[in-house]
Amino acid sequence: MKHLTITLIIILVWGKGFSQEISVESGLNFTSYRYNNSTGDSNENVKPDSGFYSRLGLGAFQLGSQKIGYGASFQQLNATGGDGYENYNWKTNYLGGFVQYQKLIYKNRIGAKLSLDFLHLVSGKQKIGGETFDLTNEKEMNGTWINPSVGVFANVINSNSLGLDIGYNFSYAFKAGGQGTESLSYASSQVYFRVHLKSPKNELDVHEHELPKYIIPDSVSNNQLALEQEIQNLKLEINVLQQPLNPLPENTVFFNLDSYKIDKDQYQKLETLANYLINNPTMIATLVGYADDTTGQTAYNQTLSNNRSKSVQEFLISMLVDPSQCIVKGEGETSQFNQKIYDSNRRVTIILTSKK
């Protein structure tokens, strides 16, 4: 356990230095052993037991249009049992890494996620009666394990600097290799909370060591010193105002007939918009959806326009845009953009404004 603690501390420090967002997901494993002996028989005396688990999120990488999180994983997969004569239990500690994809699916509050852990047994004990046995050399338990899981979560807090989720996962771990004459796998239910801390992004990156040092003679009075400092501050403000503004991203996303699915040829403009909003946290994007008025009923087209704007919103949030920067609005059917080329009216128009 000492080595495990040291390893987790090193990973935490390393990850904090290189990641814009760090997260900790912790909870309880309620694990059932799926065990069969050399003759294929199971042991009905083996009962589920609970243990601790934690995932330390260190960052994310881009896969297509989606962001995939990664980090370190720790899992306790325990069991207990007894045959009426003596009691026994298994206590195991697995350490490894994970990748994870998650997506908000309902009102920016409820989401689903898929995770894949790669685990290795770092310590394990089995107690039978009064004796204790080391499990790290047991072929059915050591080695590399693959632990996929699926889960749901609810977003409780989501601010610019802090997020809090609660959720449930179901996982099934199996060994990536031979286990000899016996076989073992783990089925676990997990309940957890997840805290993620977001590093603030500065609109202008100014370092103290880059600023000219202002030297005041000893003879200058306090009033003169205050005046000179005020002049220095005004110079800095002027420099900020003279910085060129970021070019505004393209403001229209087009859709196919009777569809609110975003085509891949629209991804680049939305990725550019997402980067713009992340780097300009005071900006708000109003996402106004439309449908053409040549097909479908008015009520249906109203729903279609709403869904188109929501699709753009979900895409931006998946790119880590703050949900408070995205306002959804459906305007229903229209022909105002082009009365002959109907495709021009199947759109979401993006209007950028500053927060008040």
Phi, psi of 289, deg, nearest 5:
-95, 150
As a whole number, mean pLDDT of residues 290-301 equals 86
pLDDT one-digit tens code per residue, 322-331:
999 999 999 9
| Angle at CA of residue 36, ends 34 and 42, nearest 5° | 80
**Domain definitions of the chain by residue range:** 2-198, 252-354
Residue 319's pLDDT is what? 93
Give the tokens for residue 71. 């980090």
| Alpha-helical runs (H) found in 242-340 | 267-279, 298-318
Where residue 64 falls (left for φ over 0; alpha for ψ -120 to 50; beta otherwise) is left
Give the tokens for residue 329. 């609005």
Give the tokens for residue 300. 């249906």
| Alpha-helical runs (H) found in 45-168 | none
Q: What is the mean pLDDT of the chain?
A: 79
CB atoms within 10 A of CB 351: 12
Strand partners, 164: 157, 195
pLDDT one-digit tens code per residue, 27-74:
999 998 887 777 777 777 788 899 989 999 888 777 776 778 899 999
Residue whose tokens read 């005046």:
227
- Residue 92 near residue 119 (C-beta atoms within 8 A): no
C-alpha distances (whole Å) from 7 to each of 109, 267, 306 are 34, 39, 48
pLDDT band at 83 (very low <50, low <70, confident <90, very high): low
C-alpha distances (whole Å) from 192 to each of 26, 104, 247 are 5, 17, 42
As a whole number, mean pLDDT of residues 282-291 equals 93
Residue 297's pLDDT is what? 87
DSSP for residue 3: H
Q: Is residue 199 pLDDT above 80, yes or no?
A: no
As a whole number, mean pLDDT of residues 235-248 equals 53
The fourth-level CATH superfamily of domain 252-354 is OmpA-like domain (3.30.1330.60)
Top-tier CATH class for 2-198: mainly beta
Q: Is residue 292 pLDDT above 80, yes or no?
A: yes
Residues 6+ apart with CB under 8 A from 112: 102, 103, 105, 150, 151, 152, 153
265-279 burial by CB neighbour count: b if 16+ within 10 A, else e? Answer: ebeebbbebbebbbe
Q: Report the relative pairing of strands 326-334 and 283-292 from DSSP bridges.
A: parallel
Among 253, 258, 319, 338, smallest CA distance to 288 is for: 253
Q: How far apart are CA 272 and CA 267, in angstroms?
A: 9
Q: Is residue 202 pLDDT above 60, yes or no?
A: no
Q: How far apart are CA 349 and CA 285, in angstroms?
A: 10
Identify which has the larger pLDDT, 290 or 204. Answer: 290
As a whole number, mean pLDDT of residues 97-102 equals 92
Look up the pTM and report it. Answer: 0.53
Single-letter amino acid code for the residue at 99: V
Residue 10's pLDDT is what? 47
Identify which has the larger pLDDT, 229 or 147. Answer: 147
Give the tokens for residue 89. 């239990």
Among 266, 18, 104, smallest CA distance to 274 is for: 266
| Alpha-helical runs (H) found in 39-146 | none
pLDDT band at 82 (very low <50, low <70, confident <90, very high): confident
Q: Which helix (H) or strand (E) holds 253?
A: strand 252-254
Chain mean position to CA 277: 18
The string of DSSP letters for 117-151 reads EEEEEEEEEEEETTEEEE-TT-TTTSSEEEEEEEE
DSSP for residue 354: E
Q: How far apart are CA 225 and CA 238, in angstroms?
A: 20
Q: Is residue 201 pLDDT above 50, yes or no?
A: no
